[in-house]
Structure 1
Amino acid sequence: MKINWGTGIVIAFGLFMAFILYFVVEVQSNSKYDNDLVVEEYYKHDAQFGKEMERIQNAQDLPEKPKVELTTQGAQITFPVTFVPTKIKGKVSLYRPSNKKMDFEVPISISEPTLLVPKKSLVGGRWDINMEWQYEGKSYLSKETIYIN
């Protein structure tokens, strides 16, 4: 049996379409390929982008910026010493890009300029840290990325 060019091209297109369709079904049905958004309400978050940029600029304008350091106890966040620690209010959000279920928040309620996130709460890998805080009516936002071994 001889196959001409036209039949060969149709068979090749058919096999290629079946191959692509298989991968589309596999990715949509298998939970291993989780494709959730990083933020649940993405469009609401996007609408607040201007305010977020203003808070980031406020943090950038500080002469001394908050620092995140890894210690043996965990991740230590040090706020500027020019701030009175009891007047700093807000939250620290820790995001795990590879697993949304590991995300958590720590409220900022401190009596000294440091906040410690215990090491037992941090699994090895990449963590994105968003520090949102207010001090004397002014809002700040800092973003850091850390890697835990």
Structure 2
Amino acid sequence: MKFTWGHGIMVALGCFMIFILSLIFFSGDMGEMVTEDYYEKTINYQDDIDAVNRANALAVKPQITQQANGFMIHFDEAVQSGDVFFLRSENSKKDIVQPLKLNAKNEMLIHSVDLINGEYEVSLRWKQNNQNYLVKERVNWKAH
């Protein structure tokens, strides 16, 4: 049997298919969804837009300031309820999700023990005067 150009094309296609399949096989984990209830959140996305617009219209917005012992979240007024999300883009296991519990000065501390060096996307969701509000901000934590 003689090796012809047809055999060469078949070998080249076979090698290409093996290459593509090995890329798929060895690529491993392709990432994860940001949230488990992604589809439900997309349906309610207009509520988030309205909450962000209400928060932007506030005269005094909540402040997130970095301190040596963590991030201090300060509100101008007391809030009915809410949640604080410190989300890591590379690993959801390192996310911090806590209910909003303000002290007498309308402040809450996210303690440095819970934080690791790197960037967080902070989302503050709260309810005030029966209206939902949402503030998103990127912060960078670096332990001193």
Q: Which residue pairs with 1:64 in the alignment?
A: 60
% identical equivalent positions = 28
Q: Which residue pairs with 1:91 in the alignment?
A: 83
Q: Is residue 50 of structure 1 aligned with residue 46 of structure 2?
A: yes
Q: Is the 8 A contact 1:88 1:108 kept in 2?
A: no
Distance change (3 Å), C-alpha of 1:14 and 1:135? same
Provide the C-alpha distance between the structure 2 equivalents of 1:103 and 1:134, rounded to a whole number of angstroms.
Answer: 22
Post-superposition offset of 1:5 = 3.8
Q: Which residue pairs with 1:36 in the alignment?
A: 32
Q: Which residue pairs with 1:132 in the alignment?
A: 125
- CA deviations on 1:78-128 (whole Å, 9 max, x unpaired) are 22x2x2x2x442110121111111122121121213211001101111211
Distance change (3 Å), C-alpha of 1:2 and 1:60? farther
TM-score (ref. length: structure 2): 0.87
Segments of 5+ residues of structure 2 without an aligned counterpart are none
Provide the C-alpha distance between the structure 2 equivalents of 1:67 and 1:9, rounded to a whole number of angstroms.
Answer: 65
Q: Which residue pairs with 2:9 in the alignment?
A: 9
State the number of aligned residues.
141
Q: Is the 8 A contact 2:96 2:114 kept in 1?
A: no
RMSD, aligned α-carbons: 1.9
Q: Is the 8 A contact 1:108 1:115 kept in 2?
A: yes
Aligned mate of 1:145, from 132, 135, 138: 138
